[in-house]
A = this chain, B = another copy of it.
Amino acid sequence: MHRWGEWGDGSRDVPLPSRLPALLAGEVGVGVPPFDVPLDDVVAATRTSRLAGTSPPVAWALDPLDRLLHARGQSFPDLVAVRSGDVGPVPDAVARPGAAAEVRALLSWAAAHDAVVVPWGGGTSVVGGVDCPTGERPVVVADLVGLSGVRDVDRVSSLATVGAGATGPACEAGLREHGLVLGHRPQSFEHSTVGGWVATRSSGQQSLGFGRIEDLFAGGTVESPVGPLTLPPFPASAAGPDLRHAVLGSEGRLGVLVEAVLRVRPLPEVDDVVACYLPGWDEGVAAVRALAADPTGTAGLSMLRLSTPAETAVSFALAGAAGRALQQGLRLARLGGAPCLLLAGVTGDATTARRVRARVRDAVRRHAGRVVGTRLGRRWQRSRYDSPYWRSRLWELGYGVDTVETAAVWSAVPALVADLERSVAEAVAATGARAHVGTHLSHVYRTGSSVYTTAVFPLGASREATLERWRALKSASLAAIARSGGTVSHQHGVGRDHRAAAVEEKGPVGTAALGALVDAFDPDGVLATGNLLPGPPAT
């Protein structure tokens, strides 16, 4: 279970890069550490569960600490809430069903007792997707930690059946015993779960090679308030609309995924990351686009991750003397102006890997860049899950961090990036502070790319001032995304924070259709968590 106000469970210590505080002090000013309310005080102030004395349909915990740890996710407002001790609503019980039948029993009980059930995987939502709903109805979190493990492997069909509560490491460890890999590695990989990936349409860092969760989720079983929905793992079907794509992105509103059938692969021989530098953003985007839209395909190319000059400059600064040496080398190679770091994942057998490396080198050179090798890439691989851990450390130094992300077609990407970065910086400036903004393209497709922007800014003088700054940033970024042709989210989902924007994106007809789906699966609003659609009974 994660630690209070932290990313992760404490099993891994991830310190802040040593040069980051000084860098931020220069960029956005010296932070003022906020006053955090101690956990003990929060526990002491937690109201008694409304389910105390109720006979539980499945075993559940009522103790305040367990309930508090399931009250919020990992969004910026969640961090503010938890750290400031103003947690908001806290669930009344935490159930840990150990089988599909227990999920079913919990949903039936909730329908009969007018309770709300919040499905919980790793609790890593950064968009308010696991926040406890407000309202009069009792709330039970269904923590799916008990539904884990690789249950069945069909090697001939490259399919594995996995419990929806399996975390990334648990899933991959189970598959590795069979010489297989799923390859889905979002930044939350260590803590997020198979069910959470499906529910939020997540995307792994190597989605170019392994596919998004849509490509990996072949089928499975969803326990819904009106009964189970079984999705057979057909390789393809023309038998009407594909209900997998209703479950994917349903964010717990249609039911609880209990088991997934996943498309797996043999473990690759090679899994490298090659670092390259392009002389500027335009050249970088052109190189990445050429590789992603290569008419001969992208087999063996598992990732293309291109940082803006600003984000690249941060990587130099954090590396100290090594970074300065690298910058000097790039200047000698006439790449010193505004270099952009490109990390290319090379995954497959040795022959394919050689071919892909050559292809990357050709594309980078054609766009006046240079390949610098795999040393930097290995460093990225070692630290690929680290940055979420930094947020709590930065908070303690008086800095807020949030990420905004989207995807758009290639023709819209350059203007979108410019608009998004400018809008975020201006929004924070309007609250009287400076933001450091950096962006990368990390998930590329033949027809477009994701855009991922990170903003660091000083916390406000009060909890409310901090939230106000974040709200300004968030609303400016969503407006920029919408006007520049991006989707509300490429990989984080909708939750509560993107709800209004998602309604705009889907339009009235699309929103009504989603509402009809929710009503069909959940007529009594048992899963009225507030995710995805506005106006559920409980929020």
Contacts and interface: CB of A to CB of B under 8 A. Distances in A.
Interface of A: 154, 156-159, 200-203, 212, 214, 218, 224, 226-230, 232-251, 263, 265-266, 268, 289, 293, 295-300, 348-349, 351-352, 407-412, 443, 445-450, 485-494, 498, 501-502, 505-510, 512-517, 519-521, 532
14 contacts: A157-B447, A229-B509, A230-B507, A232-B505, A234-B486, A236-B448, A240-B249, A240-B502, A240-B514, A241-B246, A241-B249, A243-B514, A295-B349, A296-B348
Contacts of A202: 238
The 8 A-B residue pairs with the shortest CB-CB distance, nearest first, are A297-B299, A245-B245, A235-B448, A516-B520, A235-B445, A157-B409, A201-B238, A237-B487
B513 A446 contact: no
- How many copies the complex holds: the figure is 2
Interface centre among A158, A248, A351 (most CB of B within 10 A): A158
A447 B232 CA distance: 12
A265 B159 CA distance: 30
A342 to B, nearest CB: 18
B348 A295 contact: yes
Contact of A498 (B239, B297, B502): B239
A408 B234 contact: yes
B263 A505 contact: no
A236 B203 contact: yes
B293 A158 contact: yes
A300 B355 CA distance: 14
Nearest to A408: B234
Contacts of A236: 203, 212, 214, 407, 443, 445, 448, 450, 487, 490
A229 B510 contact: yes
B489 A239 contact: yes
A154 B409 contact: yes
Given A235-B448, A443-B236, A516-B519, A409 B509 contact: no
Given A154-B409, A238-B492, A241-B246, 19 more contacts: A156-B289, A156-B409, A156-B410, A158-B293, A158-B410, A218-B447, A234-B409, A234-B448, A235-B409, A235-B448, A237-B487, A239-B494, A265-B295, A266-B295, A296-B348, A296-B351, A513-B520, A513-B521, A516-B517
